[in-house]
Structures are given as structure tokens and as C-alpha cells.
Structure 1
Amino acid sequence: MPPHKILLFNPNSTEGFTTAMTEHITKYYESNDDVHVRFGTAPVEAPASITSVTTSILSAASSLRNILSELEHENYDAIVIACFSAHPLVPMLREMTTVPVVGIMEAGILMASQVGSKPGIITTDKRWEPLLEHEIEGELGLSRQCRAGVMSSGLSVLELETLPWERVGAALGRAAARMVAEREADVILLGCAGMVGLDEVVQHHVGPDVTVIDPVVCAVETAVSLARMKLRTAKAGRYAMSTM
């Protein structure tokens, strides 16, 4: 059997985030011969980071043609959009292809709800707290699966790449420990693709009784499961085929 081919796409134009995901996911699957992950990055005109509804839409508009062009030349079994939000690319691509499309926030929350009763999300700056809470409840309908809510680490998205990892890990660890102490979270979900690979650092801050989850890994594992099951996006309802 040929390996299951997954496209992991970073919808912002910061190559450093793609590099970090490439290194972590490649290492994660290095002994797995039936999974092949290919990595993509939004074009240079896309926002360097996604920090609002506006930048999400600009990101999707910049990235869509690139991904559709990639699908014309390569056959993928599933696609992962690596932005921790209800990113517009996910439903857009579900309308335009039968290939399963997975967002890292949705996959992370669903997986977190399987291993704990009160998951919470640590995000970047305060701006993301109301944005994510609105998307989790209004767009995804998953607020019951994220009962500890969303808490800011005080970092900006780009600081995840520009600051030393020790400082980033310490800030995330403090936010996670505060969420456990104040909101009794039993699962901590890393709330940005730029936090990839930092789950072990955060785990050290919250202790062994709390589970820490990397949503990028969750989403790729979900995509692989959909590929193994040979599932496709349904076209009878919301995701009826659309063209540009």
C-alpha cells in the first residue's frame, strides 16, 4: 500500500512556523512508513500572522489558489490547515474538494474532550480570548467540550518565533498553571500552531495529572485516520461542490 499523503498547510507567510512544524511532525512520523506529510506555506502577500477576523480572511484569500493548484498536481488523502481558529480555508476547501480538510483547533478540542472533562486553551495575546471563545461556541459549537475556556499567555503570535524558546515555554507554562489553579482545567490545549513541540515544556509546569495536547499533532492524526478509513467530504449538504 502506498503511504497516506497529507498536506499540512500554514496559512500565514511566516516560514519559521512552517519550519518548526516540519521538524516536529517529520520527527513524529519518522518510523511510520504509511504516512507522508508534505508542508506548504501561504504566499508572501498573506499576513505574517493571523490575529483577527480580517487577517483570517486575507490569509484565506491569499492561500486558496495555491492549495487548489497543489491539488491539481498532487493527490492528497487529507489536508490540515494549521491555524488555531475557525479558519475560513477549512469550509472553503471542503466546498471545493472531496478530500477531508481538518482544522487544528477543531481536531484539538475534540481530542481533548476524549481524555478529560474540563479542557482549556492557552493562547497568545488577550485579543484571541474573545475571538476563540466566539468561534468555539458560534462557529464550531464546541463550548461544552472546552469548559475551562481560553486564557492568554501574554505573548504575541510572532513572539512565538522571535523570542528564545525558554522564554516562550516559561510564559506558556505560567498560563497553563494558572488555568489549572484558577479554572480546574484537567487538559491543556496549546492554542497556536506556533506552539508546536512545546507540549513537554508545558507539561513540566502543570504536573503529571494534567494532560497537555499539541493540536498540530491532533489534526495530522485525525487526517491520517480519515485517510485510512477512505472517507471523503460529503457533498449532499453544507459542503456541496462549489467553484470559483
Structure 2
Amino acid sequence: SIRILLLNPNSSRSMTKSMESAANSIATLSPSVSISTYTAPEPSPASIDNAEGIHASVQAVINDPDFKSRLQSEAYDAVLVACFSVHPLVKHLANALKPVPVTGIFEASILTGLSLVPLVEEEQQKWGIVTTGAFWEAHLANGVAAFLGQAPSPASTTGSSSSSDGRFAGVFSTGLNAGDFHTISQEQVNVRLREATKRLLSAGNVTCVVMGCGGMGGLQDMIRAIVVQEYGQDKARDVAIVDGVQAGVLQLQHAVLSRRLF
């Protein structure tokens, strides 16, 4: 069996429940995988929307005695940090819990995006990220560059990629925050999401759209409909839409099995 801890570093239990549902959709395909969840206590914000929110969430988790006792009493095989950001908890827990595999939904999505976009001689296929607020455009673009071992570009601009990897189309934001996806009207979500997705799809031959927020779980069908509108039914069939939580569970399952095998 493989026991994965899904760690939500914000304090929204409803978001944890939504991400748990996404994780369990993968776990049902692999009966050996079981998902446990943890939600950070306040003062971690209910929605992490900037650098201050990231910092507050780190402090809330590492200073939570309940979290420490759970790590000591439960034998988790892997930990998934479920915040789509360059989140310090990923490195912190990887060091504290080694050799237990730890990844974040951001890191898992990068690897998944790259695996779904082949290197080809013809028109290069691309992957990109649709996310929430404008803060995340530079944060995530620079994060992709750093993850790929590249120096971030100081000239990174809205919707552009700061990575020299030709397969990365960039980061495009809706202007919403994570909590908005479950609180404002569906029509407002549709309008903002359509605009951001259209900008991504116009950035090249995009064949993989990564949903760049844990709170976007369940929006695959909406994004798929936008892709069909922009690309047509035939081309849209070849476009993958990646949920970071699902990608993270798959990556950790692979990591645990690899450690056991090799």
C-alpha cells in the first residue's frame, strides 16, 4: 500500500475537500493508494494569493503541534504540498522527512507538462499554465525556469515565459483568487477563465494546459469547452488538461514504487 498525505497549506477546509476528491479520483485507479489530508490552521490565509500568504502558510504549518504529532504517529509513504506555487514547505519537508518522497503540485505539474509535450522537429508543441491572480504570472514563470535549472529572466512580462525552454508557453492569469472559483458566479468564472485560456492558446501550438491553482479542480470540462471553441473539435482532442493534485498523486506513486524497486 502507498499512504499519501495531501497537505493543504491554506486554512480552507472546503478547498481541502475539493483537492481530496481530485486525489481520490486517481487513488481509485490504484487501490493500493490511500489519501489522508491535512489543512493548515489559521493564521494561514484561506486563499494564498501573494508572497505574504505563502510565508504565513509556512509558519502556520511548521508551528502547528498537531501537524508535528501526525508526522510522528503516522507512517506516510509520501507527502504532497497542495499549493500551486514555489512553496518552501516542499524543500523543508523533503529535508525533514527524507527519504520519504515530497513534492508540490506545482513541481509535479511541470514534470507532467513536459512528459505530455514531445520534442519534435516540426511545429513545436507547447504547454502552459492558467492561474488565478496577476502575482502568480512572474512567480510561476520564474519558478518554472528555476526548476528547469535556468536563470529567471528579469524582463519577464505579463503572460510571457521567463524560461528558455521552447516548450513552455508561459503563465496567464484570470485575475481571480483561489477562493473566488467556489464563491463568485459561474458566469464570472467562465468569462475570466475563457479570457486567460484564450491568451494561452494564442501563444503557440499549445497541447497541454495546466490548471495553476489547487482551487481550480473540477474546471477541466469548462477549459475543454474553451479549447474546442478556439481550436475546433479535432485539434482539441489532442490537448491535455492537467490537474496539479492528480499529477502530484501520480508522481508520488511513481516515486514510492521507484524507491521500492530500485
Preserved CA contact (<8 Å) 1:109 1:145: no
Q: Structure 2 CA distance, aligned partners of 1:200 and 1:107?
A: 21
The answer for the alignment partner of 1:127 in structure 2 is: 135
Secondary structure of residue in 1 paired with 2:87: coil
Which range moves more in the overlay, 40-49 or 87-96? Answer: 40-49
Corresponding residue of 1:208? 237
Residue-by-residue CA offset, 1:95-123 (whole Å, 9 max, x unaligned): 11111111111110111111114111001
Partner-residue secondary structure (3-state), 1:185:
strand
Matching of residues 65-84 of structure 1 within 5 Å: 65-66=63-64, 67-84=67-84
The whole-number CA distance in structure 1 between the counterparts of 2:109 and 2:194 is 18
Q: Report the CA distance between 1:76 and its aligned residue.
A: 0.5
2:68 & 2:23 partners in 1: Cα distance? 23
| One-letter amino acid of the counterpart of residue 212, structure 2 | G
Instruction: Give the Cα–Cα distance (whole angstroms) in 1 for the partners of residues 249 and 22 of structure 2.
Output: 12
DSSP-derived class of the 2:172 partner: strand
> Which of 179, 183, 187 lines up with 1:162 in the alignment?
183
Whether the 8 Å CA contact 1:169–1:198 is kept in 2: the answer is: no
**CA displacement, residues 117-146 of structure 1 (integer Å, 9 cap, x when unaligned):** 411100112121112122222365373276
Structure 1: any 5+ residue segments left out of the alignment?
232-244
C-alpha separation between the residues in 2 aligned to 1:44 and 1:154? 25
Q: Distance in 2 between matches of 1:113 and 1:176?
A: 19
TM-score normalized with structure 2 length: 0.80
Matches within 5 A, 1:161-240: 161-165=182-186, 167-206=188-227, 207-230=236-259
**Aligned letter for 1:154?**
G
Identity %: 34
CA contact (8 A) 2:49 2:133 kept: no
Evaluate the alpha carbon distance shift between residue 163 and residue 141 of structure 1 in structure 2; reply closer, same or farther with a 3 A threshold.
farther
Deviation, structure 1 residue 17: 0.7
CA distance in 1, matches of 2:130, 2:243: 11
Inter-partner Cα distance in structure 2 for 1:140 and 1:58: 27
Match of 2:31 among 33, 53, 60: 33
With over 3 angstroms needed to count, the CA separation of the structure-2 counterparts of 1:177 and 1:75, relative to structure 1, is: same
Distance in 2 separating the partners of 1:216 and 1:25: 6
1:148-197 residue CA offsets vs partner (Å, 9 max, x unmatched):
01001122222122124454345324322331124432211000000112
Deviations along 1:188-222, one digit per CA (max 9) or x if unpaired, are 10000001122232122112232211111001111
Equivalent AA in structure 2 for residue 72 of structure 1: Q
Cα distance in 2 between the residues matched to 1:145 and 1:63:
37
* C-alpha distance 139-210 of structure 1, shift in aligned 2 (>3 A): closer
DSSP-derived class of the 1:33 partner: coil
Q: Which residue of 1 aligns with 2:94?
A: 94
Q: Which residue of 2 aligns with 1:238?
A: none
Helix, strand or coil at the partner of 2:206: coil
Q: Which runs of 5+ in 2 are unaligned?
A: 118-124, 151-162, 228-235
Matches within 5 A, 1:107-126: 107-116=108-117, 117-126=125-134
Conserved 8 A contact 2:193-2:223: yes
**Aligned-pair distance for 1:31?**
5.0
User: Which stretch shows the higher mean deviation, 159-168 or 190-199?
Assistant: 159-168
Q: Indicate the larger mover: 161-170 or 43-52.
A: 161-170
